[in-house]
Amino acid sequence: MIKILVGFLSALVFSNVALADVYKYVAPDGSVYYTDEPPNQKYTRIIRTKVIVRVRDNGSAEINDISGSKNYRLSRRLAKSSYSSRINREKYSELIAQAASDYGVDEKLLHAVIQAESAYNPYAVSPVGAVGLMQLMPGTAERYGVRAEDRTDPAESNKGGARYLRDLLKMFNSDVRLAVAGYNAGEGAVKKYNNSIPPYPETQNYVAQVLAFYER
Catalytic member of 37, 62, 117, 149: 117
Instruction: Write out the H or E segment, with its range, that includes residue 206.
Output: helix 201-215
Q: Is 8 helix (H, G, I), strand (E, B) or coil?
A: strand
First-residue to last-residue Cα distance in the chain = 35
> Is there a catalytic annotation at residue 37?
no
DSSP string, 118-187: HTT-TT-B-TTS-BTTTTB-HHHHHHTT--GGGTT-HHHHHHHHHHHHHHHHHHTTT-HHHHHHHHHH-H
- Dihedral, 134, 138, 143, 146 alpha carbons, nearest 10: 60
Q: Alpha carbon 160 to chain centroid distance? A: 14
DSSP string, 61-115: EEEEETTS--EEEE-HHHHH----HHHHHHHTHHHHHHHHHHHT--HHHHHHHHH
Point out the residues that are catalytic.
117
